[in-house]
Structure 1
């Protein structure tokens, strides 16, 4: 798929940068609103655009921080279906964490193992240690 028109890309990027700044100020709902506005600017079949990948990740991460696990899961599920989403360690980390939170332990183990194999242990260090503890009980690290 060809790239987005320059003006549209600039508008989307500006909204996302504004969202990033709002996150730094811990204004998560306002940031989410900026990202959702950016997502709505994408042409039809949003999941065909690479920009959708990072926008879904940003929105999903806000929902993760807010404890809205169902919404978080939907965002990361969408992100993995977008360009460069499948195989992205951070996306798979959040998917594994969401499966864990939903009690789907077999799927959580699969996703978290994929993350560990692709990115190592460091990626787990930013979040609650319960995810790494779970992984350590399910595979040999």
Structure 2
């Protein structure tokens, strides 16, 4: 098995191309197209996907697009899977999105845990204006 830093250049470029398509689609609020592009990128990552750093940002991007598309179940699944990938645990943005998905699904205990991890990693600024309801929820749950 090749190591993570030895991913074939052509494969890496193909993954990047799909991710760029996904990023563009997200910017245009075309979430179905973004999800499709990120899924195509993820499908190219060799197994076990947990060994590849590319999985971290591809799965996060997929989960974020699913969250923006209000498919909270799929977002929770993608963002939970990303936690098994390199450098995901402790990443405030990943914890924020997973906490938001958990909140929207009514899993408030899990939401509180993930949102607190986001807060601990980056402070109040991780909750920008659109995420204020999640910060207000967290403030109600813990003494901040």
Whether these two folds match at TM > 0.5 is yes
Q: Report how many aligned residue pairs link the two structures.
A: 141
| 1:75 matches 2:40 | no
Cα distance in structure 2, aligned partners of 1:114 and 1:25: 30
Q: Which residue of 2 aligns with 1:55?
A: 58
| 1:2 matches 2:4 | yes
| 1:34 matches 2:11 | no
Cα distance in structure 2, aligned partners of 1:44 and 1:2: 11
Q: What CA deviation, in whole Å up to 9, does each residue of 1:65-105 have, x standing for no partner?
A: 11110000001001111111111111111121122222222
Cα distance in structure 2, aligned partners of 1:32 and 1:126: 24
Residue of 111, 114, 122 corresponding to 1:108: 111
In structure 2, the residue corresponding to 1:86 is in which secondary structure? coil
Q: 1:72 to 1:139 in 2, by over 3 A?
A: same
Residue of 117, 122, 128 corresponding to 1:119: 122
Q: Show structure 2 runs of 5+ residues with no match.
A: none
Residue of 16, 22, 26 corresponding to 1:13: 16
Tell whether the 8 Å contact from 2:83 to 2:89 is kept in structure 1 after alignment: yes
Q: Structure 1 length as normaliser, TM-score?
A: 0.92
Q: Show structure 1 runs of 5+ residues with no match.
A: none
| 1:94 matches 2:80 | no
Q: Structure 2 length as normaliser, TM-score?
A: 0.91
In structure 1, the residue corresponding to 2:128 is in which secondary structure? helix
